[in-house]
């Protein structure tokens, strides 16, 4: 427990080398939640800053039977927990020895990387292990406030920023881009949620020298190597990952996927090992994919499906809107209708709220099918963001 402290990184690697099963926790995970995770995962010891990094006896819970395969192979294990945004967090067991082998043979790189994703998230661990394997300078932020992150990018001439679309928007909204020299950025990789096309254009305008790369992965299968194309298209180009689209849903099968869940059934896996991601996609030329959004995020308007990201992207085309969130609200006739919350630019405090709301609906009517147009638009000061830097959906 301790996030990207040098001691916790050292413990992670040392425990892996000795064949232990590791449950990492970011600094934002509270003691009660750590105790719950430890109980589910059968943790025996806790190592944290509070104990000055000395192991402390933690629990006497029985070891989960899922660890038997790791013990048989004499492999280290890794237990990651999902965000719990759609229910109880799922505890996923990885073969850590196998995962580490995935990074073997990385070519040396000199580009400094900022560790913007979390220590107990598959994306954050992918950045950490990839950076260590390539011998890169890793910059660890003390907080994820845009001003602090921008200051570190300027100070250490950070060239690679792995992050989320939501954080990139917060970075633009904060004005930190104008207050700091961020010209060192050469690669901005983003994933974990769809990037609205309008936001992509704003990021390109703010960082004209940086290459935007859309990454893709899941906690269950790991992060896949991708190649980004125009129009929010990406191609999975990873020899260790297989993919296919079944009825509009992306299915993955990888060499680094989990052994199973400690507290959840395996219904999302097929008998032959395919993982149903729950991500709805469109297919483009040469096997390219466009991620539309999570299946459990879509809005059902009289039987028609609306993905929030599509409507959000259209709303963000308006200069009068700095940020927005689209969700579904109950409707007695259609079941649900589209509801939009918008944030106005900070430099426009005297904006006519009613005029902006009318402009949003008029613009949506021009660009979207009728059932996708928000029936209600409200102005809010800010929108909630999860600790993982993602938009919090209703």
What are the angstrom distances between the C-alpha of 228 and each of 193, 235, 237? 15, 6, 10
Q: Tell me the average pLDDT of the chain.
A: 89
Average pLDDT over residues 216-222: 90
Average pLDDT over residues 104-109: 90
Average pLDDT over residues 355-384: 91
pLDDT of 151 higher than 90? yes
What pLDDT was estimated at residue 87? 65
Say what the pTM is: 0.88
Average pLDDT over residues 188-201: 84
| pLDDT tens, residue by residue, 11-35 | 999 999 999 999 999 888 888 899 9
pLDDT of 93 higher than 90? yes
pLDDT of 346 higher than 80? no
What pLDDT was estimated at residue 146? 94
Percentage of residues of the chain with pLDDT beyond 70: 97
User: Between vectors from CA 296 to CA 292 and to CA 298, what angle results, nearest 5°?
Assistant: 50
- Tokens 């305008």, located at residue: 205
**Better pLDDT: 197 or 340:** 340
State the pLDDT confidence band at 382, using cuts at 50, 70 and 90.
confident
pLDDT of 181 higher than 70? yes
What are the angstrom distances between the C-alpha of 212 and each of 107, 120, 287, 389? 21, 24, 20, 18
Of 133-142, 205-214, 346-355, the least confident: 346-355
pLDDT of 83 higher than 90? no
d(CA 52, CA 7): 9
| pLDDT tens, residue by residue, 290-301 | 888 888 888 899
Average pLDDT over residues 158-168: 93
pLDDT of 283 higher than 70? yes
Bridge-based pairing state of the strands 216-218 and 222-224: antiparallel
What pLDDT was estimated at residue 82? 87
pLDDT of 132 higher than 90? yes
| pLDDT tens, residue by residue, 41-62 | 999 999 998 899 999 998 877 8
Residue partners of 42: CB distance under 8 A and separation at least 6: 59, 61, 62, 63, 64, 67
């Amino acid at each position: 427990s301790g996030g990207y402290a040098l001691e916790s990184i050292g413990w992670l690697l040392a425990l892996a080398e000795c064949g232990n099963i590791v449950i990492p926790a970011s600094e934002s995970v509270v003691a009660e939640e750590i105790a719950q995770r430890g109980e589910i995962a059968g943790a025996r010891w806790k190592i944290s800053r509070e104990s000055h990094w000395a192991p402390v006896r933690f629990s006497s819970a029985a070891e989960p039977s899922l660890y038997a395969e790791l013990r048989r192979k004499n492999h280290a294990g890794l237990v990651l927990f999902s965000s719990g945004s759609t229910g109880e967090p799922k505890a996923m067991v990885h073969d850590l020895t196998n995962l580490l082998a995935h990074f073997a043979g990385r070519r040396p790189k000199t580009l400094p990387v900022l560790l913007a994703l979390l220590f107990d998230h598959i994306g954050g661990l992918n950045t950490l292990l990839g950076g260590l394997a390539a011998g890169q300078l890793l910059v660890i932020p003390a907080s994820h406030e845009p001003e602090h992150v921008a200051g570190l990018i300027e100070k250490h001439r950070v060239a690679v920023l792995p992050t989320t679309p939501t954080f990139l928007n917060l970075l633009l909204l904060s004005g930190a881009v104008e207050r700091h020299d961020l010209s060192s950025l050469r690669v901005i990789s983003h994933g974990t949620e769809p990037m609205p096309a309008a936001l992509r254009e704003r990021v390109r305008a703010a960082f004209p020298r940086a290459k935007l790369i859309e990454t893709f992965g899941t906690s269950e299968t790991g992060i896949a190597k991708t190649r980004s194309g125009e129009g929010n298209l990406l191609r999975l180009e990873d020899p260790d990952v297989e993919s296919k689209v079944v009825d509009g849903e992306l299915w993955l099968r990888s060499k680094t996927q989990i052994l199973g869940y400690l507290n959840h059934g395996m219904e999302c896996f097929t008998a032959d090992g395919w993982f149903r991601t729950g991500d709805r996609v469109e297919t483009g030329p040469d096997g390219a994919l466009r991620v539309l959004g999570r299946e459990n995020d879509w809005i059902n308007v009289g039987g028609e499906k609306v993905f929030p990201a599509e409507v959000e992207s259209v709303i963000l085309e308006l200069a009068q809107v700095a940020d927005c969130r689209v969700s579904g609200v109950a409707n007695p006739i259609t079941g649900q209708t589209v509801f939009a919350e918008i944030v106005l630019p900070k430099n426009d405090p005297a904006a006519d709220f009613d005029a902006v709301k009318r402009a949003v609906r008029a613009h949506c009517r021009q660009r979207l099918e009728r059932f996708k147009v928000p029936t209600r638009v409200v102005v809010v000061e800010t929108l909630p963001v999860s600790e993982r830097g993602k938009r919090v959906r209703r």
